[in-house]
Structure 1
Amino acid sequence: MTDPRTRRARILRGDLPTEPMPMADLLRRTPYRHARIPGASAPDPTIERGLDLALRVGALMLRCGAGAPQVEGAIAATAAAAGVDQVELDITLQSILVQARSAEGRQHTMLKVVRHTRFDYARLVAVHRLVESLVAGEVTPDEASDRLRQIKRTPRTYPKWAISLANAVLASAVAVVIGASALAALATIGVVLAVAGIARLHARVDLPEFYGNAINSFAATLLAGGLYAVGATGAIPFTEADFAFVVAGGIVAMLPGRTMASAIEDVIFGYPLTGAGRLLAVLLSLTGLIIGIASGLGAMLTLTRWTSSSFVSPDVLDLRVSQAPIVPALLASLVVGLAAGVTVQSRRGLILPMGLLTIVGVAVSAVLTRGPGVGSVTATGIAAVVVGVFGRLLAQRMDAPSLVLVVPASFGLLPGLTIFRGLYELVAQGQDSGLLTFQSGLSTLLSAGGVLLAIATGTVLGEYLAAPWDRHVRGSRRPRTDAVPR
Structure 2
Amino acid sequence: MTYTASDADGHRAMALALRVGELLLGSGEATENVGGAMRRILESYGLRNVEADVNLSAITLSHVPEDGRAAATAERRVRRRQPDYDRLIAVHGLVGEITSEGLSLAETEGRLREITRRVKVYPEWAVVCSLALISASAAVLIGGGPIVAAAAFAATILGDRTGAWLGRRGVAEFFQLAVAASFGALIAVLLIWGEVPVQSSAVVVGAVIALLPGRPLVACVQDGIAGEYVTATARLTEVVFIVAAVISGISSVLAFALQLGVPISVDNVPVAPLSLETPQLLGAFGVSLTFAVALLVPPRYLAQGALGGLLIWATFVVLTWQGLPAVVATTVAAAVIGLLGTAFARRVKVPSMVFVIPAIGPLLPGSVLYKGMLEMSLGELSRGTLHLIEALSIALGIGAGVIMGAEILRAFRGRDLARRIRPASRRTRGY
Query: Taking structure 1 as reference, are residues 469 and 357 closer, same or farther at Cα in structure 2, changes over 3 Å only?
Result: farther
The range that moved more, 375-384 or 330-339, is 330-339
Aligned residue for 1:170? 134
Query: Does 2:18 correspond to 1:61?
Result: no
Q: What's 1:279 paired with?
A: 236
Structure 1 residues 43 and 288: CA distance shift in structure 2, 3 A = closer
Matched, 1:457 2:400: yes
Which amino acid in 1 is paired with 2:58? S
Larger displacement relative to structure 2 (336-345 or 193-202): 193-202
1:313 offset after TM fit, Å?
4.0
CA distance in 2, matches of 1:372, 1:353: 27
Ranges in structure 2 where 5+ consecutive residues have no aligned partner: 418-431
Aligned partner letter, 2:271: R
The aligned counterpart of 1:25 is none
Measure the CA separation in 2 of the matches of 1:163 and 1:43.
Answer: 42
Find out whether 1:91 has 2:34 as its counterpart: no
* 1:316 corresponds to which of 264, 268, 288: 268
Give the Cα separation in 1 of the matches to 2:272 and 2:390.
14
TM-score (norm 1): 0.81
Other structure's SS at 1:99 match? strand
Give the match for residue 438 of structure 1: 381
Per the alignment, residue 389 of structure 1 pairs with 339
The verdict on how the C-alpha distance between 1:64 and 1:314 changes in structure 2, with shifts beyond 3 A counting, is closer
Q: CA deviation at 1:379?
A: 0.7
The Cα shift of 1:104 comes to 5.8
1:351 maps to: 302
> Alpha carbons of 1:325 and 1:315: their partners in 2 closer, same or farther (altered >3 Å)?
farther
Alignment of 1:458-477 (within 5 A): 458-467=401-410
Q: Do the aligned residues in 2 keep the contact of 1:177 with 1:330 (CA within 8 Å)?
A: yes
Report the Cα offset of residue 47 of structure 1. Answer: 3.5
- Identity score, percent: 29
**Mapped contact 2:141–2:279 kept (Cα < 8 A):** yes
Q: Secondary structure at the match of 2:53?
A: strand
Equivalent position to 1:80, from 43, 48, 66: 43
Counterpart for residue 83 of structure 2: 119
| Aligned-pair CA distance for 1:51 | 2.0
Sort the Cα spacing of 1:168 and 1:470 in 2 relative to 1 into closer, same or farther, 3 A. farther
Distance 2:266 2:218 in 1: 33
Deviation at 1:48, TM superposition (A): 2.7
Q: TM-score scaled to structure 2, two decimals?
A: 0.90
Instruction: Tell me the CA shift for residue 469 of structure 1.
Output: 6.4
Distance in 2 (alpha carbons) for counterparts of 1:52 and 1:274: 22
Which amino acid in structure 2 is aligned with residue 72 of structure 1? Answer: G
CA deviation profile, 1:284-324 (whole Å, cap 9, x unmatched): 1111110111111111111126xxxxx1344325x432345
The DSSP-based 3-state class of the residue aligned with 1:321 is: coil
Once the two structures are superposed, residues 374-429 of structure 1 have per-residue CA deviations (whole angstroms, 9 ceiling, x without a partner) of 11111111111111111111111222111222112111110001111111111123
Superposed displacement of residue 331, structure 1: 2.1
> Residue 129 of structure 2 contacts residue 157 of structure 2 at CA under 8 Å; is this kept in 1?
yes
Partner of 2:373: 423
Query: 1:409 aligned to 2:359?
Result: yes
- 1:43–1:297 distance in 2 versus 1, CA, 3 Å: closer
Question: What does residue 216 of structure 2 align with?
Answer: 259
State the distance in 1 between where 2:281 and 2:45 align: 46
CA offset digits 1:94-136 (Å, max 9, x no partner): 1111111345622121111111111111111000011111111
| Structure 1 counterpart of 2:145 | 181
Q: Matches of residues 18-57 of structure 1 in structure 2 within 5 Å?
A: 42=4, 44-45=6-7, 47-57=10-20
Q: What is the DSSP-based 3-state SS (H/G/I as helix, E as strand, rest coil) of the residue aligned with 2:316?
A: helix
**Is 1:298 the counterpart of 2:261 in the alignment?**
no
The structural deviation recorded for 1:138 is 5.8
Alignment of 1:350-389 (within 5 A): 350-369=301-320, 371-389=321-339
Shift of 1:206: 1.8
The aligned counterpart of 2:421 is none
The residue that corresponds to 2:422 in the other structure is none
Residues 266 and 374, structure 2, Cα contact 8 Å, conserved in 1: no
Residue aligned with 2:63, SS: strand
Distance (Å, rounded) in 2 between the aligned partners of 1:137 and 1:196: 43
Letter in 1 for 2:315: V
Greater CA deviation, 134-143 or 201-210? Answer: 134-143
Residue 237 of structure 1, aligned match among 172, 194, 197: 197
Q: Secondary structure at the match of 1:164?
A: helix
1:41 positional shift: 8.6
Question: Relative to 1, partners in 2 of residues 1:101 and 1:334: Cα closer, same or farther, differing over 3 Å?
Answer: same
| Map of 1:108 onto structure 2 | 72
Is the CA contact (8 Å cut-off) linking 1:87 and 1:99 kept in structure 2? yes
**How many residues get paired?**
414
| Range moving further from structure 2, 445-454 or 72-81 | 72-81
Report the Cα offset of residue 327 of structure 1. 2.7
CA distance in 1, matches of 2:329, 2:105: 46
Name the SS of the counterpart of 2:256 in structure 1: helix
Structure 1 portions without partners, runs of 5+: 1-37, 306-310, 430-436, 475-486
